[in-house]
Structure 1
Amino acid sequence: MSDFLKHCTPWPEALAGEYRRKGYWRGQTFSALLDERAEQYGERLAVVSGQTRWRYRDLAAEADRLARGFSALGIGPKDRVVVQLPNCAEFFAVIFALFRMGALPVFALPAHRKLEISYFCQHAEAVAYIIAGQHGGFDYRNLASEVKAVSPGLQHVLVLGDAGPFTALHDLPDGTLPAPPEASDVAFFQLSGGSTGTPKLIPRTHDDYIYSLRGSAEICQLSPESVYLCVLPAGHNFALSSPGSLGVFYAGGTVVLSNNSSPDHVFPLIAAERVSVTALVPPLVPVWLDAAASLKPDLSSLKVVQVGGARFNSEMAARLVRELGCTLQQVFGMAEGLVNYTRYDDSDALVLHTQGRPISPDDEICVVDDEDQPLPAGEVGHLLTRGPYTIHGYYRAAEHNARSFTADGFYRTGDLVRQTAEGYLVVEGRAKDQINRGGEKISAEEVEHLLLAHQGVADVAIVAMPDAFLGEKSCAFVIRRDASLRAVELNAYLRKLGIAAYKIPDRIEFADAFPKTGVGKVSKKILRQIIEQRLLVASQSG
């Protein structure tokens, strides 16, 4: 067994055999998928990115050119390649080129910097790093120089645009392709979205990921007529596969890319390209709704707006449906596997108040208490899952795997959920976000959603802060829409809602922005550190 395979946890043979027998895993690779779509839909539009408009045959041809170039440089099967590109057509050509030759992309995000990229290169033992020369006012070539200096195994830096001292993607030599990968092989690495520590690498196979694409495309009723607007980072799991760009390619539709989520930019794009579906994270929704009310854009082609990445406030969900006049689809998933969707024919209650049900009838869901004992439907507990597209271990993370997976292969998601009688999940928060205030348990996410409904609040994050008497108290970090908003007003607002007094934040701190993790989520770890430091300074000065 190779060193690489030793660091990847395979599915147990019995489960893998069952998934194949049931037709979930069909032995198709991403390279074969693209070739098939190029044959079926060669003249149809696949990707729109600024002035670039590629048909399916164009995408396949560019992926083939790049694969031959990568091979000529000495990049081979199972070699890891960190890919950090913005939302551009070349992103897909690059990853399909790597899929074609059996090399493994590691999906970094544009916001990552030296700490994260160096870790990815070192931990994955990457041989190449692919970047844009400049994007968003940042020079990634300088970053690459810093990363290369501390990553001895990194042999190549490949650049989209002006390459400077490195190798340009548009000027690669021509080589010969190696034998194609097997569908059971690892295809790429996604990044874990945890709120603490450096992101773990998530190995996904061709078999398991393509099944999730197929299931997502069917649930989302995608077709060759579907036009998907990608405004979230293209390499993020939500934007890639739920159903995301790859799900749209699976269906033969068109992906429209934007690096700007501002309504001023995307509304004209929706009208011009007749976008039918897009995906947003909750903070973008009120921005889009407010802009739509004032700009009166032509959004007549937009049929579905997906919202995921965090639990979506039910009042904002109702407002989206009412004001945009389109279908809302809630999405709750994770890069490790499990994805849940509300369905288009679900009742309003399910769409507005749940985060959906799983893709597969063989997605196993367990909601357990702190001792791993199953809880009855309707009770809040820890979500454990196992299924045909959920991993059984992170890459090179034995100690973390021992904590994150049960002995029989269930993944501990870290989410607190309750399951309805219909089998739908309602996300109540993260286990780490639970605040124990003198024995009274507070779900941070519950209070966050209440505060988000206040018209003066743009965003909020609640964390625990130390208290000598109660052990923990709660602190709400709030980003205001209205600069005159005061903490006393928010406390009065919460009291008026009738929530238990212990749930009202003990302290409110106003902020201009929140610190983020490497995958773009709010870093509650840093917020906890901030409030602890402020309390320490206050105690010393007092």
Structure 2
Amino acid sequence: MASMLDGCTPWPQEFADRYRAAGHWRGSTLDTPLRGWALAYAARTALVHGGTRLTYANLNRRVDRVAAGFRLRGLRPGQRVVVQLPNVPERVITAFALIRVGAVPVFCPLSYRAAEVSPLVRVTEAVGYVGPSAYQGFDHTAMAADIAAQGPFLRRVFTYEPPGTASPYGGLATDASGCHYFPLGSVDAPPEAPLARGAGQVAFLLLSDCAPAAAPKLVARTHDDYACQVRAAAESVSLTGDDVYLTAPPAESDLAFGCPGVIGVLSVGGTVVLVEDPGPGAQLAAVERERVTIASVVPAAARLWLDALPTVRADLSSLRLVQLGGASVPGAIAERLGPALGCRLQRVFNRAEGLLVVTRPTGPDGAVLTAQGRPLLPDDEIRVVGADGREVPEGETGELLVRGPCTVRGYYRAPEHTARSFTGDGYFRTGALARRTPDGDLVMTGRAEDATRRASPGSGPADG
């Protein structure tokens, strides 16, 4: 199999060689360590969801069996599968199982409906869909059936049902369009020998933060580049096996998945606490109940936490760090959140395309209130440019551009978007306005104007 999917933009060989030589890319697929984790941390709790607790040994066993079940039902390496699941253990198991099969998960927000999901299926030519049969009053299976009837690609639908419930589609095996339906709980088979895969292959597809529904901008993350991001993010927060992580952001967000998120916590033998309820009461109660040490929140959730603290009165003394995601964070929220929770903050500015800018938790307390921090890796190359594509002086505002070992070189099957958002020499135009401080930190000041983002790929020094 080719190292990347057709429709992806590879890193130039000289950059790939440089990143491997520097130790950023280490040649391991994302699911490989899970086998080692199951041996090293067998009896430790890996996932918590309400009253459900999965040890590392059980998690790896479930992933192995579900992967074999997916293969038995026809999924093959390189095929794309849309994954639209709530924040439940099956989401983690499904992601790892598809990766172990060599299939490519396409992570999709649970809030998306046919108008957004159908273009994802069309652009990726997804042969599979994994989602709830119905969730919070919406019939996901009926949506998948309609999409399957409209095109030649989607032919396998796997429906998730919460424990103790029965699928209304349990008797439906195949519909008139030839699409097959399987309860996700029935996807189980004896484990098979691991497939040979390369770390340069695409592990999954993420949606760009500002992707329009009709023309999705999909980001293909490889095993090598995402593992590099996760390792560096875990080191930035001194993550250990004693940590308990709360997934407060949307389950499909890059922040919750790999900054260091679920992948990072599992990589060190920690515990991931999955909470479906978006309300602050349920999340803060989970912090007290599970003795959570690290959580990630976006500004809207942080505001809800602050508003709820006087009435919820949860014991939050276990928290040592809260990551505050997003480029635009009101100063009052950042100023209040740390003291209110009794822990340190880390500002995180991340993009699905790969850029990750963070403050260091060991740095001055005031830095988290005024800046987003610095790029995570020493080989992240940053430019702050004006509308003419030339770098602006320190302290002046311009658009933030980046290239590096975790930043992709183009969008999946979207040459027009790639030409608009990436320079000729591989810098990603983030669309964020920023300025550099004398200390080397980046301060995000807003969004770039469309005219700046539409600067032609050959206009100015930013393109080499």
**TM-score over 0.5 (shorter chain):** yes
Correspondent of 1:200 among 217, 220, 228:
217
Contact 1:66–1:97 (CA<8 Å) still a contact in 2?
A: yes
1:170 aligns with 185
2:49 aligns with 49
Amino-acid identity (%): 44
Question: Residue 218 in 1 paired to residue 235 in 2?
Answer: yes
1:177 Cα deviation from its structure 2 partner: 5.5
Structure 1 residues 173 and 284 mapped into 2: Cα distance closer, same or farther (>3 Å)? closer
Q: Which amino acid aligns with 1:169?
A: L
Contact 1:83–1:129 (CA<8 Å) still a contact in 2?
A: yes
Give matches, 1:62-211, under 5 Å: 62-161=62-161, 162-163=166-167, 164=169, 165=172, 166-172=181-187, 174=189, 176=192, 179-194=195-210, 196=212, 198-211=215-228
Give matches, 1:1-400, under 5 Å: 5-161=5-161, 162-163=166-167, 164=169, 165=172, 166-172=181-187, 174=189, 176=192, 179-194=195-210, 196=212, 198-400=215-417
Which piece of structure 1 moves more, 420-429 or 328-337?
420-429
1:256 Cα deviation from its structure 2 partner: 0.2
Contact 2:49–2:273 (CA<8 Å) still a contact in 1?
A: yes
Paired residue secondary structure (2:120): helix
Distance in 1 separating the partners of 2:6 and 2:243: 41
State the aligned residue count: 435
2:426 aligns with 409
Paired residue secondary structure (1:135): coil
Paired residue secondary structure (1:5): coil
Distance in 2 separating the partners of 1:331 and 1:305: 10
Distance in 2 separating the partners of 1:3 and 1:27: 12
Distance in 1 separating the partners of 2:183 and 2:221: 28
Distance in 2 separating the partners of 1:224 and 1:253: 4
Higher relative contact order (CA 8 A, sep 6+): 2
Q: Which amino acid aligns with 1:371?
A: D
1:69 Cα deviation from its structure 2 partner: 0.7
CA deviations 1:130-153 (Å, max 9, x no partner) are 011222232211221222122321
1:479 aligns with none
Contact 1:128–1:157 (CA<8 Å) still a contact in 2?
A: yes
Q: Which amino acid aligns with 2:281?
A: D
CA deviations 1:453-500 (Å, max 9, x no partner) are xxxxxxxxxxxxxxxxxxxxxxxxxxxxxxxxxxxxxxxxxxxxxxxx
Q: Which amino acid aligns with 1:81?
A: V
Structure 1 residues 277 and 433 mapped into 2: Cα distance closer, same or farther (>3 Å)? farther
TM-score, normalised via structure 2 length: 0.90
Q: Which amino acid aligns with 1:191?
A: L
Distance in 1 separating the partners of 2:23 and 2:131: 37
Distance in 1 separating the partners of 2:207 and 2:273: 24
1:42 Cα deviation from its structure 2 partner: 1.2
Contact 1:68–1:177 (CA<8 Å) still a contact in 2?
A: no
In the TM superposition, structure 1's runs of 4+ consecutive aligned residues that sit over 4 Å from their partners are 1-4, 175-178
1:51 Cα deviation from its structure 2 partner: 2.1
Distance in 1 separating the partners of 2:270 and 2:59: 13
Structure 1 residues 113 and 230 mapped into 2: Cα distance closer, same or farther (>3 Å)? same
1:296 Cα deviation from its structure 2 partner: 2.2
Distance in 1 separating the partners of 2:93 and 2:392: 46
Structure 1 residues 434 and 395 mapped into 2: Cα distance closer, same or farther (>3 Å)? closer
Q: Which amino acid aligns with 2:158?
A: L
Paired residue secondary structure (1:134): coil
Structure 1 residues 418 and 196 mapped into 2: Cα distance closer, same or farther (>3 Å)? farther
1:200 Cα deviation from its structure 2 partner: 0.8
CA deviations 1:68-123 (Å, max 9, x no partner) are 01111111110000000000001111111111121100000100100111111111
1:180 Cα deviation from its structure 2 partner: 2.9
Contact 2:211–2:217 (CA<8 Å) still a contact in 1?
A: no
1:3 Cα deviation from its structure 2 partner: 12
Structure 1 residues 153 and 433 mapped into 2: Cα distance closer, same or farther (>3 Å)? closer
Q: Which amino acid aligns with 1:36?
A: G
Structure 1 residues 327 and 3 mapped into 2: Cα distance closer, same or farther (>3 Å)? closer
1:434 Cα deviation from its structure 2 partner: 9.8
Which piece of structure 1 moves more, 315-324 or 113-122?
315-324
Larger Rg over CA atoms: 1
1:392 Cα deviation from its structure 2 partner: 0.2
| Runs of 5+ unmatched residues, structure 1 | 436-542
